[in-house]
Chains A and B, each alone.
Chain A
Amino acid sequence: MKKHAVFGAALGAVVGAMLAATAGATTAQAADREIVIGYQAPLSGDRSQYGEMFRNAAQIKLEEFNASGKLAGAKVAITFEDSKDDPKEARNIAHKFLDNSKIVGVIGDFSSTVSMAAGEIYAAEKMPQLSQTASHPDFTKLSPWQFRNITTQAFEGPYNADWIIAAGKKTAAVIYIQNDWGISALDGFVSGFKAKGGKITATEAFNPGNRDFRSILTKVARQKPDVIYLAMFYEEGAAFAQQREQLGIKIPLYGTSSLYSPKLIELGRESVEGLHLATTFTPDNPDPAVQTFVKEYAARFKSEPGMFAAQAYDAVGIMLDAVAKAGPSVTRESLRDALAATTGYPGVTGATSFDPVTREPAKALAKMMVKDGRFQVVTGP
């Protein structure tokens, strides 16, 4: 009998916990108009460093916005939820945000898989979603409710290809990370490079988490391409550059904007000297908007903001400006329309406009190279 009671109690406790969890989600409405933006990001787990940057940048932008008085008669708040970079959690969060009638728009998630898992729900339930980083080609095709503030590799690849060709280099080997983003980076660059008359000598994939590139390097170097194009993140990029130096290979490196981080130089030291990349954001940019952001971020969080923090800062800015445009009586529908009408938003990642049909962002990229242990803007080819 005692064991029955224990079982019954366990069952009761679990059901109770489920009900309590919902009760938390449906708290009473405040009398004043409070507009809430949901922000889902990996705040714990493997990718938490990105979520942390997003949250930091979002807080700065939100305070600036509320202090600016752009939106009279309402106050905007951001609710953060931790998705752990897990599609299962992202679906739960999507429904949690949908249940909250104060939430008119959502920013996030970080990776494309997780953004799309939640995106399927936002598309079906009509909630505007703006991801600062999801670059999957299908993301904005889910529905008219999806937006992103990152130029995809379909834009960046041909841009870099033009740059390399203009520098008089005709053959390239591509090393890419084996995930959705890596494949789109490969496709974007290869098609752009071939269209300009360049020749691809090799394309080599590696699995996420791999840190040993010696066999790939040896194989690729044998064909003597003019450049090696890296489609990867800074951790792998630094390891790649170091192993290239150890093997004595002198072929110049070009890379995707994802390599752009102070950590690349910190980890790769002299080996990353001469690496070229084009990026939307550089903390050295003399633009006052960029300098205000960089100073504020460094003062608060004791680190220089990278591209990811800047993307989030602008994503929040675009979302908040759309809220201001839609006015204090903003709804999910009117916010979507206001977002779709975004033209020339003056952000720190370049002026951003959304294409009215595809909802893809267009931005101007800055050409950079690593010189004397720091990223410097390159003028000319």
Chain B
Amino acid sequence: MDVNVPDARLMPDTLAPPAAFSGRGRRFAWTLLLLAVAFGAVPAAIVGTGSSYLAQIAITTMIFVILSASLNHVTGTAGLLSIGHAAFYGIGAYAAALLSTRLGLPFIVTLPAAGLIAALFGFLVALPTMRLVSIYFAVATLGIGEMIYVVLLNWVDVTRGPMGIRGIPPIELFGWQADTLLSRYLAVAVIAVACVWVLHRLTHSYYGNALRALREDDQCADSMGINVERLKIESFVVATFFAGIAGALLAHTSAYIAPDNFRFMESILILAMVVVGGLGSLPGAVVGALFMIVLPEALRDIGDYRMIAVGATMFLSILLLPKGMLAEGTALGFVRRSFSRGWATIAGGTPVGWK
């Protein structure tokens, strides 16, 4: 894998000012472009067309960007195949819904609380399962995901069971209420961008390298002095934290949640986003989420054959791009160059390591 090519021509940044300058320029250009899409082009399209449909899709996409990016952190980068991600999304959603409807807590409290409660459950799940490898871990997360779904469905006194929870207040910050769809989108987008940025800093760093090392060979990583078990637990807790955040956003943007929002198929959908986008690639996870939410909507007009077309597109994308739309190696190189996160090298060399 062309992830960490050692480069003897490594040079400190200060010795190569032109390269560093152009790197920083490019970094700003890409950051600006991405922010311009999220906070310029999409809102402009929503206002320009006056389409609430577009706004709704954009909100759903942003929530799934968080879910897919966080699953990618544990499944793509750290290599722990989790097929119960929707359950933690559900825990976050229920935590936010219950805290706001029963205790009247504001969004500023419910959002982090939802993440922390989901992360706590993630931690409790991680403790006994971290010694499991590959498919055994996947089956364990499958079981836990189903358990959590069944608890949401059957613990009627707390969750109201299949009746779901109604009347969840919209996003509100210090008196400012996100009551229009556009403001709701902007609030969700700010949080989604912040989440992706945190995951970006975790993944594209030496810490991320350690996660990739344990994915490739955990015994070898262990012998090199990496605390494998601790890193696995950390990556799982981080992923479940962000799933909880996504759940809180769902609860506060849709006003009504029920266990059906967090079925097993939802976990599979999130996993499909990660795989179609590129396992281990953070930009891929974002593109995968966009693709898997927008495609079925864009194909609505073809009617009954819609889901067949979606399935065929997924099949072809995996057949032709088995490493995903933005493969991990490509994505890491891209982040190093375009966000100047790798060390500058002699002109034309491959950037290496992480700043």
Give Cα A113–Cα B287 distance, bound, in whole angstroms. Answer: 29
Query: Which residues of A lie under 8 Å from residue B290 when comparing CB positions?
Result: 14
A4 to chain B, nearest CB (A): 7
Give Cα A18–Cα B42 distance, bound, in whole angstroms. Answer: 9
Contact of B260 among A4, A43, A94, A114 (CB under 8 A): A114
**B129 lies within 8 A of chain A by Cβ:** no
B294 and A113 form a contact (CB under 8 A): no
**A21 lies within 8 A of chain B by Cβ:** yes
Contact of A95 among B53, B261, B287, B326 (CB under 8 A): B53
Give Cα A21–Cα B303 distance, bound, in whole angstroms. Answer: 14
Q: Which B residue's beta carbon lies closest to that of A82?
A: B306
Query: Which residues of A lie under 8 Å from residue B127 when comparing CB positions?
Result: none
Contact of B261 among A88, A99, A136 (CB under 8 A): A88
Contacts A14-B294, A21-B54, A26-B49; A178 near B153 (Cβ below 8 A):
yes
B163 and A138 form a contact (CB under 8 A): yes
Give Cα A181–Cα B164 distance, bound, in whole angstroms. Answer: 12
Contacts A4-B338, A44-B304, A183-B163; A22 near B51 (Cβ below 8 A):
yes
Q: What does DSSP make chain B's interface, helix, strand, loop or mixed? A: helix
A117 and B254 form a contact (CB under 8 A): yes
Count, chain A residues at interface, CB 8 A? 55
A183 and B161 form a contact (CB under 8 A): yes
B163 and A44 form a contact (CB under 8 A): no
Query: Which residues of B lie under 8 Å from residue A18 when comparing CB positions?
Result: 42, 45, 54, 57-58, 294, 298
B260 and A113 form a contact (CB under 8 A): yes
Query: Which residues of B lie under 8 Å from residue A99 when comparing CB positions?
Result: 50-53
State the A residues within 8 Å of B (CB). 3-4, 7, 10-11, 14-15, 17-26, 43-45, 80-82, 84-89, 91-92, 94-96, 98-99, 111, 113-114, 116-117, 119-120, 125, 136, 138, 142, 178-183, 205, 207
User: 6 new A-B pairs (CB below 8 Å) besides A18-B45, A91-B254?
Assistant: A3-B333, A7-B283, A14-B290, A18-B58, A95-B55, A113-B258
Question: Could you jot down 23 A-B contacts, CB within 8 Å?
Answer: A4-B338, A11-B287, A14-B290, A22-B45, A22-B49, A24-B300, A44-B304, A84-B307, A86-B260, A87-B260, A88-B60, A89-B296, A92-B56, A92-B60, A98-B52, A114-B260, A116-B256, A119-B256, A178-B153, A179-B162, A180-B161, A183-B156, A205-B154
Q: Which 3 A-B residue pairs are closest in the complex by CB-CB distance?
A: A180-B162, A95-B53, A95-B56
